Amino acid sequence: MNNEYLLKHLRNVPNFPIPGIQFKDVSTLYKHPKCLRIMVNELYDLYKDKGITKVVGIESRGFVVGAALAYKLGAGFVMARKPGKLPAETRKESYMKEYGKDTIEIHTDAITDKDIVLIHDDLLATGGSMLAAYNLVQQFNPKQTYINFIIELTIEGLHGRAVFPENVDITTLIKI
């Protein structure tokens, strides 16, 4: 089973970046040729018939598979970045994190109302950062928005899916 194969190759780093966090280190999946191929191919199968025109990757772990998938889908790739990183005019969305506020940005000309968008990130925990990305993408009024993560954390009472509107299509490859 492919997803068991991915799970077997995912590194868990205890107490990173702070004590108590079990950090799921996807770099071990990105560096592994077969894991990388499995992830991109599985996502391609999930989205190949959806008419996706733009894949939005969230900085920075969402860039790796997001860009490979965009290439395979024949879609464009858009970076959702931390504040001040994108050089041209941007739209922004701010959100609350555990400690203080954060913001993400997308170039104003990166998405249009004719696009069908897939937003991709490596991991769903509380859902806060993806919800901000989702709300940011809605500012562009695309035809449709899909959401994907490689990993969905449901341990320790996490239920990140619950923060999204019920009609949003969310897929994940590995549930932990």
Q: What is the dihedral of CA 56, 58, 59, 62, to 10 degrees?
A: -90
Nearer to ligand AMP, 101 or 113 (CB): 101
Nearer to ligand AMP, 58 or 119 (CB): 58
C-alpha 63/C-alpha 79 separation (Å) is: 7
For residue 154, the minimal CB distance to ligand AMP (Å) is 12
Catalytic residues: 61, 98
CB-count exposure of residue 149 (10 Å: 0-12, 13-18, 19+):
buried
For residue 76, the minimal CB distance to ligand AMP (Å) is 21
Nearer to ligand AMP, 102 or 169 (CB): 102
- Residues facing residue 93 across a β-bridge: 104
C-alpha 98/C-alpha 74 separation (Å) is: 37
Nearest alpha carbon to residue 152 among 173, 132, 130, 135: 173
For residue 112, the minimal CB distance to ligand AMP (Å) is 26
Nearer to ligand AMP, 1 or 155 (CB): 155
Interhelix angle 2-9/33-47, rounded to 10 degrees, is 140
Where do contacts with ligand AMP occur on this chain (CB under 6 A)? 21-24, 58, 61, 121-130, 160
| Residue that has been written with the tokens 């997803």 in this structure | 3
